[in-house]
Amino acid sequence: MEFTTIKYEKKAGYAIITLNRPDKLNALNKQLFTDLNEVITTIELDKDIRAVLLTGEGKAFAAGADIKELNACDGRSGKHFSEFGSKVMARLESMSIPVIAAVNGFALGGGCELAMSCHIRYASVNAKLGQPEINLGILPGYGGTQRLTRLVGVAKSMELNLTGDIVSADEAKRIGLVNEVFDETELIEKSIALIEKIISKSPIAVSAIVDTVRASTILSLKEGLEYESKLFGEVCGSQDFKEGTLAFLEKRKANFIGK
Ligand code: COA
């Protein structure tokens, strides 16, 4: 499949999406969101793909929404500008397979928001993250006020959003914005190792965990626990659950088949 602003590679059991406008630091323009939206559909329809790695070509993950396109917005089109990108990121976040961001450099504004719509973030030591929209006289439009707050807490989110300050990868890890930090040369290898570890497990249990953990950010504790019990019951009906528990009792490695 050919895209103009992203690269799509199908590997054994997972897919790699690479944002591919390196001369513009992978700034997120309308075409890129259109391509991303389409590749999400491609992945959703492909049952062989059990995890996604999202990264950027060149020195940026993504340096934000395309400021040239943004500059053309007015009161009406600005809302649409925000809604389109936000919708694509919500689709990515709602995938029932794990989506891992390998943050290979600048992840600013929409780039940081895109990384936050992934389920796990690994970063390279040179990565820089933040929500500098305030410096453009605007607020984040793809979830920067919402997902960042859920990840790092109200006070830190207020500070980052109000100052536009950019944080290093190490600081991002300290505040819970990224999971791990690796040398630049190791980032992709470590991200793939994480994906391979996850896809060696039962895809049914993996999807149920992605779904329930994500639900915890929108449901009350009571609703979330009820939802967890519901999915727990459903997963107990799977062959993988029988195999996993039996393998433990028989002191052998489980052979999961995704049924
Ligand atoms: N939208 C559109 N174009 C962008 C962009 C964005 N968000 N970020 C970078 N670019 C373009 C630059 O205009 C430049 O294009 P040109 O070569 O045609 O002039 C190219 O990408 C390289 O960027 P440049 O600024 O020269 O790189 P740098 O290494 O000196 O600086 C940054 C890197 C990330 C600090 C700087 O590009 C930047 O501040 N970008 C905007 C970040 C931002 O405010 N994001 C939030 C957007 S809502």
Kindly report the CATH number assigned to the domain that includes residue 157: 3.90.226.10
CA-closest candidate to residue 104, choices 185, 28, 174, 21 = 185
Residue whose entry in the numeric block shows the structure tokens 């961001």:
101
Task: Mark whether 164 and 49 lie in a shared domain.
Answer: yes
Task: Please state, in angstroms and rounded to a whole number, the distance separating the CA atoms of residues 244 and 248.
Answer: 6
Handedness of CA 9, 10, 16, 19 (dihedral sign): positive
Number of domains in the chain: 2
Q: 143 and 167 share a domain?
A: yes
Domain-located, residue 152: yes
- 141 CA: nearest ligand 1 atom: 48
* One-letter amino acid for residue 206 of the chain: V
| Per-residue tokens: 200 | 């060696």
- Residue 159 maps to a domain: yes
Per the domain annotation, does 257 fall within a domain?
no
User: Do 13 and 95 share a domain, yes or no?
Assistant: yes
Residue 61 · residue 49 · CB < 8 Å: no
pTM of the predicted protein model: 0.97
Phi, psi of 127 (to 5 degrees): -65, 150
Burial state string for 238-249 with b = 16 or more CB within 10 A and e = fewer than 16: bebbebbeeeee
The conformation of residue 98, written as its DSSP 8-state character, comes to: -
Domain check: are 113 and 238 in the same one? no
Q: Indicate if 212 and 106 belong to the same structural domain.
A: no
What is the residue with the minimal CA distance to atom 13 of ligand 1? 24
Which residue of the set 57, 93, 133, 228 is catalytic? Answer: 133
Claim to verify: residue 160 and residue 220 sit in the same structural domain: no
CATH number at residue 239: 1.10.12
Question: Is 114 found in the same domain as 221?
Answer: no
- The yes-or-no answer on residue 69 being catalytic is no
3-state SS of 199-217 is: HCCCHHHHHHHHHHHHHCC
15 to 92, 158, 242, 253: CA distances (angstroms): 13, 35, 28, 26
Domain coverage including residue 18: 6-198
Q: Looking at the structure, tell me whether residues 87 and 213 fall in a common domain.
A: no
43 shares its domain with 111: yes
List per-residue pLDDT tens for the chain, 259 residues long. Answer: 789 999 999 999 999 999 999 999 999 999 999 999 999 999 999 999 999 999 999 999 999 999 999 999 998 899 999 999 999 999 999 999 999 999 999 999 999 999 999 999 999 999 999 999 999 999 999 999 999 999 999 999 999 999 999 999 999 999 999 999 999 999 999 999 999 999 999 999 999 999 999 999 999 999 999 999 999 999 999 999 999 999 999 999 999 999 9
- As a whole number of angstroms, the distance between CA 152 and CA 130 comes to 12
Is 99 part of any domain? yes
Please report whether residue 142 resides in a domain.
Answer: yes
The single-letter code of the amino acid at 9 is E
Smallest CA separation from ligand 1 atom 34, residue: 63
Residues 181 and 134 in one domain: yes
234 is catalytic: no
The answer on 238 and 169 residing in a single domain is no
Q: Tell me the CA distances in angstroms from 185 to 6, 124, 152, one per residue in order.
A: 21, 8, 27
Final residue belonging to a domain, choices 198, 221, 236 = 198
Sheet holding 128-130, edge to edge: 60-62, 106-108, 128-130, 166-168
Distance CA 75, CA 226 (A): 42
- Whole-number pLDDT of residue 205: 98
Q: Is residue 42 part of a domain?
A: yes
CA of 60 to the centre of ligand 1 (A): 10
Task: Output the residue whose Cα is nearest ligand 1's atom 44.
Answer: 132
- Residue 154's contacts (CB-CB under 8 Å, 6 or more residues apart) are none
Asked, for residue 1, whether it belongs to a domain, the answer is no
Same domain for 218 and 114?
no
- Whether residue 80 lies inside any domain: the answer is yes
Give pLDDT, residue 151.
Answer: 97
Q: How many angstroms does the Cα of residue 25 sit away from the middle of ligand 1? A: 6
